[in-house]
Structure 1
Amino acid sequence: MKNNSNGLKLIEKLKEKSASYKVVDLYKRKIVVAWPDKLVENVIDDDVELKVRVSKPWQLASNEWKKDKTIVNVDGIEIGGRNIVVAAGPCAIEDEDIAIEIAKAVKKAGAKMFRGGAYKPRTSPYTFQGLGENGLKILRKVYEVVGLPIVTEVMDTRDVEKVASFAHMLQIGARNSQNFPLLREVGKAKKPVLLKRGMSMTTEEWLLAAEYILLESNGDVVLCERGIRTFEKNTRFTLDLAGLAYVKTVTHLPLAVDPSHPAGRRDLVEPLALAAIAAGADMLIVEVHIAPEKALSDSEQQLTISMFEELMKKLKMVAEALGRSI
């Protein structure tokens, strides 16, 4: 819509056609999303600045209407620009002193954000499920002491408001990437969102999941490739860099890669992370622990501090070769 237009005339015309529509505020623009195409293709209004018929199912995530790349700001850290952002930390928050020690170490090595799970979605109900609200309080302490913005997972619609009050970025994990009520609630929270790709998701389904968040007028979405389930058994998942490269051609949203989960073992994390940067990732989210062998979850794939320091050195070289920085 044109500036200062409320879109009421257009909405009346859409109602006359019995078309579905939603009004969203994205990127300082008022946008009326209307469907199906056959009902709205001839609807015109003087207050419309630009009318776009998007050829892809993911309308708001498409770069057909928004040509410039979206930059997501997380407490002053910009994701999607020239600088590649690395978020690092343990799989799960286990102890305040350990979390602060890890945060100080990864910050010194060059990480710009701290990752850690307060709520853990585990395959078995008998394994460590996270510290819950106590974990969130530890994350807040980490931010107060170390200064790294926090990204952590939210699993339940009932917890969105609480987690959003502690975190700077809300993560939707692979198991919840098609939990549509949760996606809507996270969109309404108006916090930046890291949306992981589900382990059995196509790239189209991944983008359509983002659409649920965007439709709630939240344009701060970072798509995160974390590996998909294939016939391969020697890695935990298969990191789909071809899918990442494809999605970069059809969306304006920034893209992240989690190399830890597809690796499943710490010695494979480095090559996957380097490959992700070469493929065009705007962000990495890496699991790091001071004593991985003692970690309560995903101990096999978490890097030691020295391994993370070495990885950061190599990432900087790859980034510089591509005209970017870390």
Structure 2
Amino acid sequence: MLVGDAVGLDDSLQWLLHCRASPDYPELKIGPSGFLASASRIDDLYPTVILILESRATDDQIAHVLERVEAMGLQHHLSRGTHRTIVGIIGDEDKLREEPLNAIPGVSQVVPVLPPYKLASIDAHPAPSIVDVSGVKIGGGHLGMIAGPCSVEEPERMVRIAEKVAQSGANLFRGGAFKPRTSPYAFQGLGEEGLRILKDVGDKFGMPVVTEVTDPRLVELVAQYADMLQVGARNMQNFALLTEVGKSNRPVLLKRGMSATINDLLMCAEYILSQGNPNVVLCERGIKSFDPATRNLFDVAAVPQVRTLSHLPIIVDPSHATGRPELIPACAMAGIAAGADGVHIEVHDCPEVAKSDGPQALLPEQYDELAKQMKGLAELMGKTISPLPSAA
């Protein structure tokens, strides 16, 4: 959030102009994410939080606010605008987070100046991150092409699908062994047997494999077979799961929740990063909408928006975003054109007998045609596609 979004133009300008003119503040910069940023000592020099006081706040209330800030061991600057009085607080963000600032009499709103996602922020890591999945790179100009069926099925079918998508240029093979389903009576996946099948097929064609982990207790097991752990949309805010995959040494594909904001997505990525795992790839897979025309609403604008806020790679999943095979090619191309670092597409050789999500799967020949188009667009966008590790 920009300071001006909440404070009002006159007050925010007054505050920023004060900072620029004051000898207490070296050159003030706005980072790429729209938050205040500086190359050095930002936490010591610039406001971490701005308190917007009520328009009718009394002098006694204002004095009490300043006393409370000082009691926390923090610095403050009072700025009286035309319509509002604001207080910039400088100091330890963690200390501020523990204090109920909104409860102080006279405080109308608390506006964070720094993004709450420190590790995921582009201000903390200006260069785009590159995630290496067993030799396949995603991000920083490298396009990941993930393809495969929704669920792991019998080995013979998995071999046929993997061979086709590998020939088309896919460099990561996907399939679900543990499936979080809306109904408890729906197919839940093959479990560890499915993991073995997926790994064997991936090894056969030299393709790193991606599969979903649905439970914190399964992270260690899934990591034994998978090259990349997927956290699905329904589990995006499963914080125990995020913590466990953050402790893993496997890259993580984090899908945006169906009703999640971009800020929600980045804060969930922060959970993983905070546990020491820097290899996180975000995924836009559609959000809930009132319109039943498509399975979800493909929020393609989320791709460039995330790129202004975070250094983490972001890919798109037009299969779940649309639920309609005829719309997948256009949305896949739109995602790449918007700056996506990869495309995640479900492919099945006989969708009518698929264990799950058959109606949204592309046939191998359809994927082959789309892959040619994606490669051409990727080249125009200055992106490269990592070859399969066995072919490198």
Q: TM-score, normalised by structure 1?
A: 0.84
1:73 aligned residue: 132
User: Measured at CA, do residues 232 and 37 of structure 1 come closer, stay the same or move farther in structure 2, by a change above 3 Å?
Assistant: same
Query: Which range moved further: 106-115 or 263-272?
Result: 263-272
Which residue is equivalent to 1:30? none
| Alignment of 1:88 onto 2:147 | yes
- 1:297 aligned to 356, 367, 376, which one? 356
1:301 Cα deviation from its structure 2 partner: 0.4
Question: 1:128 matched to which residue of 2?
Answer: 187
Cα-to-partner distance string for 1:33-77 (whole Å, 9 max, x where unaligned): 9613589xxxxxxxxxxxxx9711111100111111111010011
Q: Which residue of 2 aligns with 1:198?
A: 257
Letter in 2 for 1:242: A
Cα RMSD for the two superposed structures: 1.8
Asked whether the 8 Å contact 1:58–1:208 carries over to 2, the reply is yes
Distance 1:306 1:38 in 2: 53
SS at match of 1:194: strand
2:158 corresponds to: 99
One-letter identity of the residue aligned with 1:310: E
- The structural deviation recorded for 1:102 is 0.7
1:221 equivalent to 2:256? Answer: no
After superposition, residues 209-288 of structure 1 pair within 5 angstroms as 209-288=268-347
Q: What secondary structure sits across from 1:107 in the alignment?
A: helix
- CA displacement at 1:225 relative to structure 2: 0.5
Counterpart CA distance in 2 for 1:281 and 1:145 is 29
Partner Cα separation in structure 2 for residue 230 and residue 18 of structure 1: 46
Q: Does 1:171 align with 2:219?
A: no
Q: What SS does the aligned partner of 2:384 have?
A: coil
Letter in 2 for 1:245: P
Cα distance, 1:81 vs structure 2: 2.6
CA–CA separation in structure 1 for the residues paired with 2:147 and 2:163: 11
- The amino acid of 2:172's aligned partner reads M
Residue 7 of structure 1 corresponds to which residue in structure 2?
Answer: none
Q: Does 1:183 align with 2:242?
A: yes
Cα deviation 1:97-122 (Å, max 9, x = unaligned):
11111111101000000010001111
Compared CA separation, residues 36 and 64, structure 1 to 2 (3 A) = farther
- How far is 1:230 from its partner? 1.2
Which residue identity does 1:80 align to in structure 2? G
Aligned equivalent of 1:323: 382
Matches of 1:146 and 1:224 in 2, distance apart?
Answer: 25
**Does the 8 A contact of 1:54 with 1:64 survive in 2?**
no
Q: Which runs of 5+ in 2 are unaligned?
A: 1-71, 75-91, 99-111, 386-392
Indicate if the aligned counterparts of 1:54 and 1:62 stay in contact, CA closer than 8 A: no
What amino acid is the match of 2:264?
Answer: E
**Separation in 2, partners of 1:237, 1:199:** 8
Q: Give the number of the structure with larger relative contact order, counting CA–CA contacts within 8 Å between residues 6 or more apart.
A: 1
SS at match of 1:303: coil
In structure 1, runs of 5+ residues without a counterpart are 1-16, 20-32, 40-52
Larger Rg: 2
- Residue in structure 2 matched with residue 5 of structure 1 by the alignment: none
Give identity over the alignment, percent.
50
Aligned counterparts of 1:92 and 1:317: Cα–Cα separation in 2: 29
CA distance in 1, matches of 2:351, 2:342: 23
Offset at residue 144 of structure 1 (A)? 2.0
Corresponding position of 1:9: none
Q: Quick one: distance in 2 between partners of 1:259 and 1:121?
A: 19
- In structure 1, give the amino acid aligned to 2:311: H
Name the CA distance, whole Å, in 2 between partners of 1:100 and 1:183: 31
User: TM-score of the superposition, structure 2-length normalised?
Assistant: 0.70
Cα distance in 2 for partners of 1:136, 1:174 equals: 20
